[in-house]
Structure 1
Amino acid sequence: MNFEFTEEQGMLRDSVARFVQDSYDFDTRCKIAASDEGMSRENWQTFAELGWLSVPFAESHGGFGGGPVDTMVMMEEFGKGIVLEPYLATVLLFGGLLQRGGSVEQQAELIPRIIEGSCLGAFAYLERQSRHAITDIKTTAAVEGDQLVLNGEKVVVFNGASADQLIVAARSSGEQSDEDGITLVLVPADAAGVERTAYRMMDGQVVANITFTDVRVPVADIVGEAGEGYAVMSPVITRANVALAAEALGIMGQLNAKTLEYTKTRKQFDVPIGSFQALQHRMVDTFMAYEQVKSLLYRAVCELDGEGDDTAACVHALKVLVDRNGKKIFGEAIQLHGGMGITDELDIGHYAKRLMMINTTFGNGDYHQAKFNELRYSA
């Protein structure tokens, strides 16, 4: 199997890598993280000018027409810089839902605006009681004439504080956890009855809890078909999980590289600690953990690219491995750096915190292990 990137994919990777190296050093990231929005709109416009926001979108909308491999190479480089700008939230989730389920009018209006950087979006799906079950939804969407009336609350909405537009997963029929009866609704973030409460997560990103009180939008603002939102959001979330795994891979690579370099310079008993055989074994273990994630990530991307029959099981296994091996890698990095490994002054702790957040997004390792077992071992 050929794992070589095309010339275009190599250029895309190099473009993001240069930006991270030249314009997104650790001190710069800390300043962005400390800002009110937790992102840089100037950087976002740079992303637009460089064409990165167009990568996953169809050429008919002015996009690059890229696939999972193109997304993977970008997200891995974003991970190396622990980039805070909302590429996942706006392009892959909000934009992905529009591309898969949006009407011709919705796509024509919003996708070009995403590509040019003038529209920030968010996907409001999570609720207080739902934990990792994306179908556990209490927020309601009731039809009144030619309008939908939304009531409920969404929590931990990525980019929810800065978004101009929201896609909200609401229940229009069925029981609380049914896959059927979920309707995706496009809602302007400044609509009457929408209230946002912003707060900062441990990895530096700013998210929001959003309440909807008798929020009225036209029925035409449904994304996809009424009651069939799960069929739209499920494949988009699957692709987002693979993109998050690519970001995690970039983080793991940086943790390994920085820890290896530290063991070559940190001395005990007048010799570098990297000369101790026990520590060399541990560094080999973390390198192997990284390579395992990389191999399974490539397998998952190939499944997505070819719409393989084993996609779901492969992505569940990938999430389990990212959780398990990520904890091993950041645990060793912190321990080998000593107490300063978890301080805010050193980037090691920030990489670790981002990995922790990735591991809880769309389900942690235990959740995906259970899902994998259901697919593989259920009768």
Structure 2
Amino acid sequence: MEFSLTDEQNLLRDSVKRFVSEEHDLNKQQEIFRTDPRFSAAHWSMFAELGWLCLIVPEQAGGLGGSAEDAAVIAEELGRGLVGAPFLSTGILGAELISQGEPTSRRDELLGAIMEGKRRLALALEESASRYGMDTISTTAQVSRSGEIVLNGQKILVQDGADADAYIVSAIEASPDGSRNLALYIVPIDAEGVEIRRYRMIDGRWAADVKLTSVHLPSSALLIPSDRASDVLERALDHARIILASEALGAMEGALEMTADYLKGRTQFGRALASFQSLQHRLSDMFVKVENARSMLYRGLSMLDADPQQRAAAVSATMITFNQASEFVGSQAIQLHGGMGMAEEYPIGHFYKRLRVIGKSYGDLSWHMNRYTQTTRMSEIQGAA
């Protein structure tokens, strides 16, 4: 299979690199993270102008109809520059889920606002007992006598939820037969009964816990009905995981490059640290981990359109590799920087923190190991039958 970039993807990568080099400064970005949850409004407008926010929106809805590979190109370069933009939450997850909604004027209006950079969305999925799964979601949705939808529940760790305009909320529809049917709803942040607690994560980015107390919404708030919400959400989450892996690849590349430059410029006993063979070996080990992770990313991308079980196994295998590689590369980068690596003001530690957050997003190492084992075992049983 050919994994080289097309001419269009090379141009896309160049545009992201140019944005990172000209508009984004690591030290300035960390200062912003410490004082303000908002990603630069001017930069977000540039995302829209450059077409990044309409990349995966279907052409019939006014988007570019791009692929996951195109989005991965953007995410890798954003990760290399530690750009703290809500690209995944709005431009990938938000855009994909809205695109999968019923073809109404409401949907088209939301997609248009996303592509123009006027709306930011965040997926409110996790709950205190959900452990990355959807089987234990307790947020409920009931239809009142007047036909309104009433939501009750609490969501935690809503990534980019501190600055979102609306949430895509997963909830269980009340059913007379007692069955649990998952559906997705659009909830504006200013709806009555919505309570938001904003906080900063270890990587400097902001998340939110969202409490929903008798939130009354019109029937048009239903985004994806229960007959297909689970399948749509699982597919969108697997896409998001692969894009996160792409960002992690860029962050590891950035950490490796910064570490190599540091060892070249730092001297000990009259010699550059990069000349010591033991340190060269450690850099080589980091490089091997990064390249192995890159290969697994390509495999994950190639399996996104496979059947659900094969896709799930491939994505989890990719995330397992990335969790292990990012822990090794991040920790080695800090150690090779010595005391400088522990300084809050120096960027290398922020690469490590971002990699740790990615490793806990939409499934951690143990969750992906369990899913990989279950899906591969099920495939073997079905194949034997």
| Displacement of 1:165 | 1.6
2:343 matched residue in structure 1 = 343
Whether contact under 8 Å (1:103, 1:224) holds in the other structure is no
- What's the CA shift string for 1:238-293, capped at 9, x where partnerless? 00000000000000111111111111122222111211111111111110000001
- What's the CA shift string for 1:100-139, capped at 9, x where partnerless? 2344333211001100011111110111122222332111
How many angstroms apart in 2 are the aligned matches of 1:375 and 1:110? Answer: 35
How many angstroms apart in 2 are the aligned matches of 1:227 and 1:193? Answer: 27
1:87 matched residue in structure 2 = 87
Whether contact under 8 Å (1:38, 1:204) holds in the other structure is no
Q: Over aligned residue pairs, what C-alpha RMSD do you find?
A: 1.7
2:271 matched residue in structure 1 = 271
How many angstroms apart in 2 are the aligned matches of 1:47 and 1:235? Answer: 24
Secondary structure (helix, strand or coil) at the match of 2:163 reads coil
How many angstroms apart in 2 are the aligned matches of 1:317 and 1:100? Answer: 26
Secondary structure (helix, strand or coil) at the match of 1:372 reads helix
1:310-325 paired onto structure 2 within 5 Å: 310-325=310-325
- What's the CA shift string for 1:318-375, capped at 9, x where partnerless? 1101100100001110000012213211100000000000000011112101111112
How many angstroms apart in 2 are the aligned matches of 1:336 and 1:85? Answer: 29
- Structure 2 regions of 5+ residues with no counterpart? none
1:98 matched residue in structure 2 = 98
Whether contact under 8 Å (1:173, 1:182) holds in the other structure is no
2:181 matched residue in structure 1 = 181
| Displacement of 1:228 | 4.1
- What's the CA shift string for 1:53-107, capped at 9, x where partnerless? 1111111222111001101100000101111111111121122111123443332
Within the alignment, does 1:211 sit opposite 2:211 as a pair? yes
| Displacement of 1:27 | 2.1
| Displacement of 1:223 | 1.3
- What's the CA shift string for 1:283-307, capped at 9, x where partnerless? 1111000000100101111222566
Comparing 270-279 with 63-72, which one deviates more in the overlay? 270-279
1:67 matched residue in structure 2 = 67
Within the alignment, does 1:156 sit opposite 2:157 as a pair? yes
1:43 matched residue in structure 2 = 43
- Paired positions, count: 375
1:114 matched residue in structure 2 = 114
> Under a length normalisation based on structure 2, what TM-score does the superposition of the two structures give?
0.93
1:26 matched residue in structure 2 = 26
Within the alignment, does 1:123 sit opposite 2:86 as a pair? no
1:202 matched residue in structure 2 = 202
Secondary structure (helix, strand or coil) at the match of 1:213 reads strand
Letter in 1 for 2:154: E
Secondary structure (helix, strand or coil) at the match of 1:239 reads helix
Whether contact under 8 Å (2:238, 2:315) holds in the other structure is yes
| Displacement of 1:218 | 1.7
> Under a length normalisation based on structure 1, what TM-score does the superposition of the two structures give?
0.95
2:14 matched residue in structure 1 = 14
Secondary structure (helix, strand or coil) at the match of 2:184 reads strand
Whether contact under 8 Å (1:82, 1:351) holds in the other structure is yes
How many angstroms apart in 1 are the aligned matches of 2:204 and 2:318? Answer: 25
Q: Which runs of 4+ in 1 moved over 4 A?
A: 305-309
2:2 matched residue in structure 1 = 2
2:303 matched residue in structure 1 = 303
1:327 matched residue in structure 2 = 327
How many angstroms apart in 2 are the aligned matches of 1:28 and 1:47? Answer: 19
| Displacement of 1:173 | 4.1
How many angstroms apart in 1 are the aligned matches of 2:129 and 2:307? Answer: 32
Secondary structure (helix, strand or coil) at the match of 1:154 reads strand
| Displacement of 1:212 | 0.7
Whether contact under 8 Å (2:47, 2:53) holds in the other structure is yes
Whether contact under 8 Å (1:101, 1:232) holds in the other structure is no
| Displacement of 1:31 | 3.1
Letter in 2 for 1:250: G
Secondary structure (helix, strand or coil) at the match of 1:122 reads strand
Letter in 1 for 2:93: L
- What's the CA shift string for 1:160-194, capped at 9, x where partnerless? 121112110011147xxx9x511111111111111
How many angstroms apart in 1 are the aligned matches of 2:309 and 2:224? Answer: 24
Secondary structure (helix, strand or coil) at the match of 1:166 reads strand
Could you say if the C-alpha distance between residues 123 and 259 of structure 1 is closer, same or farther in structure 2, counting changes exceeding 3 Å?
same
Letter in 1 for 2:304: L
| Displacement of 1:37 | 2.2
Whether contact under 8 Å (2:305, 2:311) holds in the other structure is no
1:215-234 paired onto structure 2 within 5 Å: 215-226=215-226, 228-234=228-234
How many angstroms apart in 1 are the aligned matches of 2:131 and 2:58? Answer: 33
- Structure 1 regions of 5+ residues with no counterpart? none
Comparing 258-267 with 26-35, which one deviates more in the overlay? 26-35
Comparing 65-74 with 265-274, which one deviates more in the overlay? 265-274
Could you say if the C-alpha distance between residues 224 and 199 of structure 1 is closer, same or farther in structure 2, counting changes exceeding 3 Å?
same
How many angstroms apart in 2 are the aligned matches of 1:332 and 1:49? Answer: 38
